[in-house]
């Protein structure tokens, strides 16, 4: 079971969701905030997840709706749910960075990190500038990059630890 704060940086697509779902499925209780909550729902269903799942998303067709343009709405989710004993998954950090100043998203994450033992976050590679990616990365205990690599006849997933280079800043 993953404890601590883990950020996954991945290419656009389903791979990041799949990886987060596998990690989250090891927990009895999962609170997941996603731009499209149907994706983690289907991923966890495929993994036969039987725990307590609370889904929140930017769409009204799956899970409970949260307004992505109002960070207070997202904060209210974490105040209304007991996040201390749950695995919190935030797969919409890149979307939030596109909608809000980085300082506001940073403060939201900092509040959440101080309230929970297990947090899984996801950034889409290239969706935010490198400076923002580095700043958000500093909040997490570990940062993993999920990369696709083609083997002889197979598509393999490779995890690499991110080496943060601060020399440019």
From CA 132, how far away is CA 130, in angstroms rounded? 5
Residue that the structure tokens 């983690």 belong to: 40
Could you tell me the pTM of the whole model? 0.80
The edge-to-edge listing of strands for the beta sheet with 4-10 is 64-65, 52-57, 29-34, 87-90, 118-124, 4-10, 142-150, 155-161
The stretch 31-37 carries a mean pLDDT of 89
Lookup: tokens for 12:
């656009």
The whole-number pLDDT of residue 60 equals 82
Task: Give pLDDT, residue 169.
Answer: 42
Q: 55-96: per-residue pLDDT in tens?
A: 999 988 777 888 888 888 888 888 888 888 888 999 989 999
Domains defined for the chain, CATH in brackets: 4-161 (3.40.50.300)
């Amino acid at each position: 079971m993953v404890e601590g704060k883990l950020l996954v940086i991945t290419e656009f697509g389903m791979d990041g969701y799949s990886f987060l779902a596998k990690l989250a499925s090891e927990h009895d209780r999962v609170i997941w905030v996603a731009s499209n909550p149907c994706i983690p729902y289907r991923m966890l269903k495929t993994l036969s997840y039987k725990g307590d799942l609370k889904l929140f998303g930017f769409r009204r067709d799956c899970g409970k709706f949260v307004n992505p343009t109002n960070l207070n709405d997202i904060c209210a989710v974490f105040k209304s749910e007991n996040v201390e004993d749950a695995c919190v998954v935030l797969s919409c950090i890149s979307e939030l960075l596109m909608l809000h100043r980085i300082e506001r998203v940073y403060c939201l994450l900092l509040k959440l990190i101080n309230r929970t033992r297990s947090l899984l976050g996801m950034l889409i590679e290239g969706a935010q500038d490198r400076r923002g990616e580095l700043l958000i990365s500093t909040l997490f205990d570990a940062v993993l990059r999920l990369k696709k690599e083609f083997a002889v006849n197979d598509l393999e997933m490779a995890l690499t630890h991110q080496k943060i280079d601060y020399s440019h800043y």
